[in-house]
């Protein structure tokens, strides 16, 4: 039995280390998404549960009850996050706000109902001297850790979670275009805007207030089910910069709408360059028409005695017209 306890302690320590590494890795490297937030918080709670179980293993009876209570709270919240992570892997989006409130209320009720039975689950002394219920409760954080590993692998396979160095955030940061991603409830979940006004917006409605001068964009933001595009003049510059915008829906692999995307492209410089090119083309056409007017060549070159004189006159005529 001591050998078994030794292996269990080593397994708990290894699981704690892996949970810590996963929590830090997801926070630092994963793209900002609901799946990454849930995964990082989940493994943080699992890490807390594992450490509490290790402490409760050799704690006195009075202290063990408090450790078990804290572990129960962490485990119940982790179970709620696990259910939401499974929903994201299956459908592409988490629970709606009402479902999250109901799950939170159920979690709180489970914690309150379980509190009177916690002294029976708390024990002191070696692992082998505990009842079956106490052993299973000690193993609960380890089971949650294993379930979290399977869920993380599932989310990565479904491309809901990205832990590679070439993350979407790093690609979006260098894009000249500005992208705004909204969920089904209209809340802003991701963006790459460097404009302070746009970066402070947290919903479609807040973003629509900044673009109130464009009725088409305002309607597209409030009704993102239809794909729409257009142009608008917006900015603090005088005159304001010209933007091309496009709003379209985002769907998961099953064709279900999971949100919408707003793409803003600054076309001020491109439009200015196009205007300059158009003016240069008009000027070039005028010069070509002037150079093609040789109706008076016979009268002007009647006195030329040789071909060299005619060529010189033609050359000087062309140069004069180019100067004009």
- Give pLDDT tens digits for 209-263: 777 777 787 777 777 777 788 888 877 777 778 888 888 888 876 777 878 888 8
User: Does residue 196 surpass a pLDDT of 70?
Assistant: yes
Q: Residue 238: helix, strand or coil by DSSP? A: coil
Q: Please compute the mean of the pLDDT values over residues 167-172 and round it to a whole number.
A: 63
* Percent of the chain at pLDDT exceeding 70: 70
CB count in 10 Å sphere of residue 225 = 10
Residue pair 181/250 in contact (Cβ under 8 Å)? The answer is yes
Global pTM? 0.52
Q: What is the pLDDT of residue 93?
A: 66
In this predicted structure, the answer to whether residue 127 has a pLDDT above a threshold of 60 is no
Pick the range with the lowest mean pLDDT from 123-127, 165-169, 260-264, 279-283.
123-127
Does 302 have pLDDT greater than 70?
no
Map out the domains of the chain as residue ranges. Answer: 2-157, 175-270, 294-324
8 Å CB contact between 55 and 192? no
What is the distance between the alpha carbons of residues 19 and 13, in angstroms, rounded to a whole number?
Answer: 10
How far from chain centre, in Å, is Cα 88?
15
Mean pLDDT of 279-295: 72
Q: What is the mean pLDDT of residues 163-183?
A: 71
Whether the Cβ atoms of residue 80 and residue 104 lie closer than 8 Å to each other: yes
Give the whole-angstrom CA distance, residue 59 versus residue 61. 6
3-state class of 88 per DSSP?
A: helix
pLDDT for position 175: 76
Question: Cis ω on the peptide bond leading into residue 202 (within 30° of 0)?
Answer: no
Tokens of 124: 């002191």
Give mean pLDDT, residues 276-283: 84
Of 110, 260, 93, give the one whose Cα is nearest residue 181: 260
Q: What phi, psi does 138 have (nearest 5°)?
A: -65, -30
- Model confidence at 304: pLDDT above 70: no
**What is d(CA 130, CA 38) in angstroms, rounded to the nearest whole number?**
34
**Per CATH, the architecture of 175-270 is what?**
2-Layer Sandwich (3.30)
Residues 6+ apart with CB under 8 A from 257: 184, 225, 249, 250, 251
| Look-up of token digits 């793209």 | 31
pLDDT greater than 70 at residue 5: no
What is the C-alpha radius of gyration for the chain, rounded to an integer number of angstroms? 35
Query: Does the pLDDT of residue 120 top 70, yes or no?
Result: no
In this structure, how many other beta carbons lie within 10 angstroms of the beta carbon of residue 45?
26
User: How many CA atoms within 13 Å lie on the side-chain side of 303?
Assistant: 2
Q: What is the token pair recorded at 286?
A: 């005028």
DSSP label of 129: G
**317 compared with 167, residue with greater pLDDT:** 317
Q: Is the pLDDT of residue 322 over 50?
A: yes
Element (H, E) at 86: helix 61-91
Mean of pLDDT over the chain: 75
* Winning range, highest mean pLDDT, from 18-22, 167-171, 200-204, 320-324: 18-22
């Amino acid at each position: 039995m001591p050998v078994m306890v030794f292996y269990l302690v080593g397994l708990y320590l290894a699981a704690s280390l892996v949970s810590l590494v996963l929590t830090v890795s997801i926070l630092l490297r994963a793209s900002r998404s609901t799946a990454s937030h849930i995964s990082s918080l989940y493994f943080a709670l699992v890490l807390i549960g594992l450490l509490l179980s290790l402490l409760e293993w050799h704690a006195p009876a009075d202290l063990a009850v408090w450790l078990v209570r804290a572990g129960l709270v962490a485990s119940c919240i982790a179970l709620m996050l696990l259910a939401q992570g499974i929903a994201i892997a299956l459908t592409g989006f988490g629970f709606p706000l009402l479902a999250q409130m109901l799950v939170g209320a159920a979690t709180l009720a489970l914690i309150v109902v379980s509190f009177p039975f916690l002294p029976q689950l708390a024990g002191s002394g070696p692992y082998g001297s505990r009842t079956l219920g106490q052993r299973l409760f000690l193993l609960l954080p380890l089971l949650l850790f294993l379930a979290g590993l399977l869920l993380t692998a599932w989310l990565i396979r479904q491309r809901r979670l990205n832990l590679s160095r070439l993350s979407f955030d790093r690609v979006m940061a260098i894009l000249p275009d500005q992208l705004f991603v909204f969920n089904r409830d209209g809340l802003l979940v991701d963006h790459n805007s460097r404009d302070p006004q746009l970066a402070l917006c947290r919903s479609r409605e807040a973003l629509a207030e900044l673009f109130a001068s464009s009725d088409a964009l305002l309607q597209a933001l409030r009704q993102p089910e239809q794909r729409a595009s257009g142009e608008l003049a917006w900015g603090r510059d005088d005159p304001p910069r010209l933007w091309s915008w496009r709003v379209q829906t985002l769907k998961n692999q099953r064709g279900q709408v999971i949100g919408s995307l707003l793409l803003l492209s600054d076309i001020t410089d491109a439009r200015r360059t196009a205007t300059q090119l158009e003016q240069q083309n008009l000027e070039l056409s005028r010069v070509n028409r002037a150079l093609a007017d040789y109706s008076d060549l016979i009268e002007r070159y009647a006195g030329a005695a040789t071909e060299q004189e005619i060529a010189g006159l033609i050359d000087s005529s062309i140069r004069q017209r180019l100067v004009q």
